[in-house]
Amino acid sequence: MAELIVYGVVLGSIIALGAIGLTLVYGILRFANFAHGDLMTAGAYVSLFLVTGLFPWFGIPDTTFGSLSFGWRMAFAFPIAMACVAAASIFFDRILYRPLRLKGSGSVILAISALGASFIIRMIVLILWGGDYHFYRPGVLRPAIILPLEIKIRPDQILILITVLSLVVFLYLFLKRTKMGKAMRATADNMELARVSGIDTERVIIWTWGIGGALAGAGGILYGIDVQLHPGMGWHFLLPLFAATILGGIGNMYGALVGALVMGVAQQVSTAYLLPTYKPAVAFIIMILILLVRPQGIFGGGRA
């Protein structure tokens, strides 16, 4: 059980990267971005292309760092893939959501558009890579370190936790200390008020998509390192992402972080009693319970 909880924290930290981005977009643009899970898929596959396609061609060596399952190729691919997904999210906003925003379409129309975008991303992944499972390093032995309480943990998983933690700290400092971070928080509070105070809300929206996309991409890559890549991975993340976002209160970054950890642990612990394929259903049941008991979330400001 202790081991499942640790694995749950690892899964939860990956969910957190998606959920934080989702809650930022939700809080600022006020619509449910159903494409967020598939942005994670996009990050994982861009990274796959770099690691197994482009970098070998460049001659970057295929060595690994110590007992980790990856090396320099992934170290370069990670930030590049994050940037690519950020660019893709901004691109989607420009060509799909912005025209709708300017026309004054309702949030549901934007959400339908995002649903369309999610299928478009998944179909592009399926056309380019097919429907099979992929690994960044197929057939690699993944030794585990044994911690007290007989917890087996792989070095990869420890690195995943460190990566997520540093990304979250980085985002915290960005939101607290920089001018753009303050502008983003102001816009999330009240877009009209932010606009009349001279904040360029279009730029805030671009930054929001950039950050949300980059974090989602990072989450997808980390899941690929931890488990595997599959075109449907992002869609399976969608329910835990929304459950975490709702649990934490929409627009609340720290709430999303806590919600994601709860979801990760709950999903992993459930595998002790249920088939692992039921993980999305577990997230769904928890979400329904939250909606019944406390729809504004645990830290919710009552914007439900």
Partner 1 sequence: MDIGGLIAYLVSLAIMAGIFAVFALGLNIQWGYTGLFNIGIAGFFCIGAYTSAMITTPMPTGLYAQYVHQIFGLNLPFIFGLLGAALVCGFIAYLIGYPTLQLREDYLAIATIGIAETFRLIFNNEQWLANGPRGLMGLPQPLQGLVEARHYNYIYLVVVLAVMVVIYLSIERVIRSPWGRVLRAIREDEIASAMSGKDIFRFKMQSLIFGSMIMGVGGALYAHYTKAISPDVFTPLYGTFIIWVMLMAGGSGNNKGAVLGAFVIWGIWIGTKFLTDLLPYTLKARAPYIRFLIIGILLEIILIYRPRGLIGEEKRISKMID
Contacting positions for partner 1 (CB under 8 A): 31-32, 34, 96, 99-100, 103, 105, 107-109, 111-113, 115-117, 119-120, 123-124, 126-127, 130, 235, 238-239, 242, 246, 275, 277-278, 280-281, 283-285, 287-288, 291-292, 295, 304
Query: Considering beta carbons, is residue 34 or 207 the nearer one to partner 1?
Result: 34
Query: Considering beta carbons, is residue 35 or 167 the nearer one to partner 1?
Result: 35
Query: Considering beta carbons, is residue 22 or 214 the nearer one to partner 1?
Result: 22
Query: Considering beta carbons, is residue 156 or 240 the nearer one to partner 1?
Result: 240
Nearest approach, Cβ of residue 131 and partner 1 (Å)? 8
Distances (CA, A) of 93 to 11, 97, 100, 199: 28, 5, 10, 19
Nearest approach, Cβ of residue 159 and partner 1 (Å)? 31
Nearest approach, Cβ of residue 128 and partner 1 (Å)? 9
Distances (CA, A) of 196 to 38, 117, 187, 279: 35, 32, 11, 45
Nearest approach, Cβ of residue 288 and partner 1 (Å)? 6
Type of residue at 80: I
Query: Considering beta carbons, is residue 109 or 180 the nearer one to partner 1?
Result: 109
Query: Considering beta carbons, is residue 126 or 144 the nearer one to partner 1?
Result: 126
The residues, ordered by sequence, that sit 6+ positions from 177 with a Cβ below 8 Å of its Cβ are none
Nearest approach, Cβ of residue 99 and partner 1 (Å)? 5
Yes or no: say if 287 and 31 are a contact pair by the CB < 8 Å rule: no
Yes or no: say if 7 and 223 are a contact pair by the CB < 8 Å rule: no
Tokens of residue 261, six digits: 């950890």
Yes or no: say if 177 and 25 are a contact pair by the CB < 8 Å rule: no
What is residue 153's three-state secondary structure? strand
Nearest approach, Cβ of residue 293 and partner 1 (Å)? 9
What is residue 274's three-state secondary structure? coil
19 CB-side CA count, 13 A: 33
